[in-house]
Structure 1
Amino acid sequence: MEFNVDSNTELPLRPLLIDFHGVSMVDNCIDNWQNVKNFQARPDDILIATYPKAGTTWISYILDLLYFSQTSPDRQTSLPIYERVPFLESEFHVSPSGTERADKLTTTPRLIKTHLPVQFVPKSFWEKNCRVVYVGRNAKDTAVSYFHFDRMNKTQPEPGDWKNFLQRFMDGKIVFGSWYDHVTGWWEKKQTNSNIHYMFYEDMIEDLGREMDRLCSFLGLSPSEEEKERVRVGTQFDNMKNNNMVNYSAIPVMNAPAQVF
C-alpha cells in the first residue's frame, strides 16, 4: 500500500474504503489479491479466522504457545507474533506481504491468520482440508474495540466520531464489511465443514481452560496440565499487554496515540 504523506505531520494519510465484490475493504488488503487468491495452502496449515477485534492476537498466541513453546522456546522472545502468524491478505509494500511471510514459514503446522469473509478465503484451504479456528465476538464490544483501534491505527480509514462510526459499523461500511455477514457466513460454512472450530470470545473470557481443552480436542493435541497452565498465564491480558513480542508496539502506525474520545 502506497501512502501519501501529510507534510505537516509526516504521518501517512488515511486510506479510503473500496467496494471489493460487495465488501468494504482498503487497498492494503487487496493490492496483493492475486497472490492471496492463488495462495497454496498445505494440508497441515491452521487458518485463524476472525472479524477484526474479535481476539485475533489472543487466539494466535494461544495456538503458537500450544504448538511451539516447548519445541521452539526461542521464538517467543525473538520473533514478533506478526512474523510467527502472518496476516495473509496484508500488503503494505514497506515489508513482506502476508503471502510472502506465510510461504516462508518453516513451522509445522503453519499458523496463518485472516479477517477475510468466508467467501474470499483461498480455495486451496478447502481443497487441502485445512483446519480453521474461527473466533466470534458480540457486535457491541466488537464495535467499541474497532472504533478505538481505528482512532489509533493510521492504516485504517478515519473513524470520525462514535455516532458516525457506529452507524457505518451497522451498515457494514467499515473494513472487512458487515460484522453480521462475517460471523453468520462462517457459522453457515461450519455446518457443512467439520474442519472448522467455531469459538466465542465471551466463552474464552468465561473459562479459558475449558475452551482450550475443546480447542486441543479439535486439533488432536494433548498438552499436560502444566503446559496448559503456562499457556493460560502467558496469554492473560496484562502479560500480553507487556509482552513486546505480541503487543505490536514495534509498529509505529499501530502504536500511535488516539485522540480524546
Structure 2
Amino acid sequence: MALKETKQLNLKRNERIDVDYIKGILQPTPTCATWDEIWNFQAKPDDLLISTYPKAGVTQANAMPSPRILKTHLPIQLLPPSFLEKGCKIIYVARNPKDNLVSYYHFHKMNAALPDPGTWEEYFEDFLEGKVCWGSWHDHVKGWWNAKDKYPILYLFYEDMKKHPKHEIRKIMKFMEKNLDEDALDKIIYHTSFDMMKKNPMANYTAIPGEIMDHSVSPFMRKGSVGDWKSYFTVAQNERFDEDYKKKMMGTTLTFCSSL
C-alpha cells in the first residue's frame, strides 16, 4: 500500500475508528487499507460518477436510472485516474459550508464508522482546519469547480436542488442526454423529495445495524433544510467562519447560498 503520509491523527477523545492520511487527506483506515485497489479502479466509459463532500445531498441523485451509478467523496486529486481518462460523466453536488458542517457533525455523532466528533466547539475548529475525513471542504469544492471546464463534470448546488428541483433535474437529464416527459419528471421530483426519501429504507440507511449507524442519536436524513446552521452557530463562530471563508475562497468564482 503506497501511502505518502501515514501519520495517525491524535483525536484526543474517545475514538471509534482510526484514521490515516493519504496524500495529505484524512481518511478512515478501511479506505487506507484498500487504497491501491481504489486508486487502480477501472471505470467504464458509460459510468456515471456522483461526487460530493460528505453530507452534501448526494442521496438525492441516486434515484437516477442506468448506466451504472457510482458514488465518491474523494477530492479531485484522489479520484482514480481512469474516470477522467475514460471521459466518464461526473455530477458534483456542493452544499453551502455552514449547513454542510452542521450535517457532517451530526453524521459523525451517529456513525460509528467515523471518529467521534467531540463537542460542537471542537468539531467546528476541526472543520475549519480541514482535520476531518475527506479533508478540507474549501479545497474539495474548489478542486472540483476548477476541473469542471476540463472534464465532463456537471456542477450542481444542493440549495438549487431544494429551490428548483424540476429545473435541476432537467439539467441532469440534458447532461445525461436523456429525454423525459412531464409525468416521469413529476414522479422523480416526488420520489426524490427529502420527505419521501426520509421514509424510504432504500435511502434513509435505517437498514444499517444500529451499532454502526445509531438513528436514535441522529437520523441519517436529518432535516435537509437550508439555513439550519443558524440554530448552531454562535455570533462569534459565524464571524470567525466568515472571515476564514473569505481567506480560503479568495480568487474563486464559486459562490454559495446559505439561506432560502
**Which category describes the TM-score, using the shorter chain as reference length?**
0.7 to 0.9
The one of 216, 221, 239 equivalent to 2:173 is 216
1:200 partnered with 2:157: yes
Q: Which of 70, 81, 92 is residue 134 of structure 1 equivalent to?
A: 92
CA separation in 2, counterparts of 1:137 and 1:41?
26
- Residue 26 of structure 1 deviates from its aligned partner by 1.1
Could you list the runs of 4 or more consecutive aligned residues of structure 1 that deviate by over 6 angstroms after TM superposition?
Answer: none
**Structure 2 equivalent of residue 6 of structure 1:** none
Counterpart of 1:257 in structure 2 is: 216
Query: Could you tell me how far apart the structure 1 residues matched to 2:213 and 2:146 are?
Result: 33
Q: Which aligned pairs between 1:52-63 and structure 2 lie closer than 5 A?
A: 52-61=54-63, 63=64
- SS of residue paired to 1:29: helix
Length-normalised TM-score, structure 1: 0.75
Name 2:124's counterpart in structure 1. 166
Matched, 1:187 2:145: yes
The CA deviation at 1:116 is: 0.3
Q: Secondary structure at the match of 1:255?
A: coil
Q: Deviations over 1:55-98 (max 9, x none)?
A: 0111222x2xxx2xxxxxxxxxxxxxxxxxxxxxxxxxxxxxxx
Q: Is the 8 A contact 1:248 1:255 kept in 2?
A: no
1:94-109 aligned at under 5 Å gives the runs 108-109=66-67
Once the two structures are superposed, the pairs formed by residues 1-261 of structure 1 within 5 Å of their partners are: 14-61=16-63, 63=64, 67=65, 108-193=66-151, 195-252=152-209, 253-258=212-217
Aligned-pair identity (%)? 42
Q: What whole-Å deviation, never above 9, does each CA across 1:140-166 have from its counterpart, x for those lacking one? A: 000000000100001010001101001
Show the counterpart of 2:237.
Answer: none
The CA deviation at 1:30 is 2.0
Structure 1 counterpart of 2:58, which letter? T
Aligned-pair Cα RMSD in Å = 1.6
Which residue in 2 is equivalent to 1:83?
none
Q: Distance in 1 between matches of 2:179 and 2:32?
A: 38
The amino acid of 2:213's aligned partner reads M
Give the letter for the 1:139 counterpart. P
Aligned to 2:236: none
d(CA) in 2 for partners of 1:28 and 1:142? Answer: 23
1:17 CA drift (Å): 2.7
Count of matched residue pairs: 204
Higher relative contact order (CA 8 A, sep 6+): 1
Secondary structure of 2:118's partner?
Answer: coil
Please give the alpha-carbon distance, in whole angstroms, between the structure 2 residues aligned to 1:160 and 1:13: 9
Task: In structure 2, list runs of 5 or more residues that go unmatched.
Answer: 1-13, 219-231, 233-260
One-letter identity of the residue aligned with 2:216: P
Which amino acid letter does the alignment assign opposite residue 50 of structure 1?
Answer: T
Distance 2:190 2:180 in 1: 15
